[in-house]
Amino acid sequence: MLANVANKDSMVDGSCAGADQTADLPRDQQEVLYFTLYGRVEVQEWLLKDTVRKNAFREAILCNESFKNKTVLDVGCGMGILSLFAAKAGAAKVLAVDASNITKFAHRIAQDNGYGSVITVISGKVEDIELPEDVQEVDIIVCDWMGYCLFSENMLDSLILARDKWLVAGGHIFPDTAQLYLAAIEGRDQDLGFWHDVHGFDLSAIRRRCEAKAVVEHVTAGQVMSKVCLVKSLDLYSAGRQSADFRSFFELKVTRNGMVHALTAYFDVGFSKSPQGVSLSTSPCAPWTHWNQTVFYLETPLPVKTGETIKGVFGMKPSSESIFDLEFDIYIDFEGRKQSVTTQQCFVLSNSLALGGV
């Protein structure tokens, strides 16, 4: 498992193994697997080594006067690095909540760093726990809720629940804005012909399942074939539950000649309450993060010319089978000089980090 944690692409590589095996489990068992994995030190280590993620939260929280003498709630605290940032920034009280058994380390780490009297670690789901009796509301919520393609893992609903239940009027959320973007990219032809003839047997049923997989890959700036299009924007102070269920029109203006093999989605988040206006981007043009990008391979690659437009509709919703996965319905209408294509494909993004890694 440690080798897998060290290599993102080996955890969520679009292969046909992994999280599908758990989709039929009852939801409570899916949750047990999820929190068991996130309780593993090597997974937390892997997250901490994402320097872009760590630096964005650190810059947004440290030297931020809004934390001084405030009560802070850290939703999904892990080892408690965001809680430590908040305590160091001068928070009077930090409530660090996590449902995995990593909380035993979070408690010890807070004590070892001299913040045992500031940071209170609470074990449990935010949906189930109660805050200490002397705390009725909190001034600030910090939460790294973002999953693959922004919404996987379904953690946004937990943040919204905490916001509605405990955040004081005029309180702050870190981060508090998010945008999901779509772009066309060149990639690779999917080598799925193998499944047509395996020792003389037709296993094309597996091919069809593979074709329906959205994959998490590292996309480089050189692969991008179009301008980007915003498909979803969130204000975390007003966003409602089920924000992951939406449909959006898109138009992708082609910027160079070539073949478009896939569409890719990535997200940015912002910390508007930070003095420096800190933001975090998972764009192919930005430094690497553990989220990489989400890629939707097309059944028919598109031969494109500069100035042409790929139009369509991008639909997303939480999976009906897994509480941590996403389902996509993507319609494409392309009229090019070489070829015209109208197609509709459905995809599933399986969080095999959470459900296939234990």
Residue 327 bridge partners (DSSP): 317, 348
The confidence score (pLDDT) of residue 35 equals 75
The confidence score (pLDDT) of residue 2 equals 32
The number of beta carbons lying within 10 Å of the beta carbon of residue 318 is: 18
- 0.85 exceeded by the pTM? yes
Residue-wise pLDDT for 41-71, tens only, equals 788 888 889 999 999 999 999 989 999 999 9
What one-letter code names the amino acid at 117? S
- Token pair 């804005």 is found at 177
Query: Domain containing 207: what range?
Result: 177-358
Arithmetic mean of pLDDT over the chain:
87
- 185 part of a folded domain: yes
The confidence score (pLDDT) of residue 34 equals 76
Q: Is the pLDDT of residue 3 over 50?
A: no
Residue 55, classed as helix, strand or coil, is helix
Task: Report how far residue 161's alpha carbon sits from residue 158's, in angstroms, rounded to the nearest whole number.
Answer: 5
- Token pair 């630096």 is found at 55
- 49 part of a folded domain: no
Q: Could you tell me the pLDDT band of residue 6, with boundaries at 50, 70 and 90?
A: very low
Residue 292, classed as helix, strand or coil, is coil
Closest to 51 (Cα-Cα) out of 217, 294, 284, 280: 280
Which are the contacts of 54, defined by CB distance < 8 A and separation ≥ 6? Answer: 48, 81
Task: Report how far residue 40's alpha carbon sits from residue 38's, in angstroms, rounded to the nearest whole number.
Answer: 5
Taking residues 269-281, what's their average pLDDT?
96
The confidence score (pLDDT) of residue 320 equals 83
- 4 part of a folded domain: no
Residue 296's CATH number = 2.70.160.11
Task: Report how far residue 313's alpha carbon sits from residue 322's, in angstroms, rounded to the nearest whole number.
Answer: 24
Over its C-alpha atoms, the chain yields an Rg (Å, rounded) of 21
- 135 part of a folded domain: no
- 23 part of a folded domain: no
The confidence score (pLDDT) of residue 33 equals 78
Report how many domains make up the chain. 1
- 156 part of a folded domain: no
- 208 part of a folded domain: yes
Taking residues 286-307, what's their average pLDDT?
95
Q: Is the pLDDT of residue 301 over 70?
A: yes
287 touches 228 (CB < 8 A):
no
**Backbone CA torsion sign across 136, 140, 144, 145:** positive
- Token pair 């922004």 is found at 150
Number of H helices, E strands in the chain: 10, 15
Peptide bond into 275 cis (omega under 30): no
Higher pLDDT, 44 or 87: 87
73 touches 141 (CB < 8 A):
yes
355 touches 30 (CB < 8 A):
yes
The alpha carbon of 199 is separated from its chain's Cα centroid by a whole number of angstroms, namely 39
Return the DSSP state at 57. Answer: H
- 310 part of a folded domain: yes
DSSP 179-206: EEEEEEE-------GGGG-BTTB--HHH
Residue-wise pLDDT for 311-334, tens only, equals 999 999 999 888 889 999 999 999
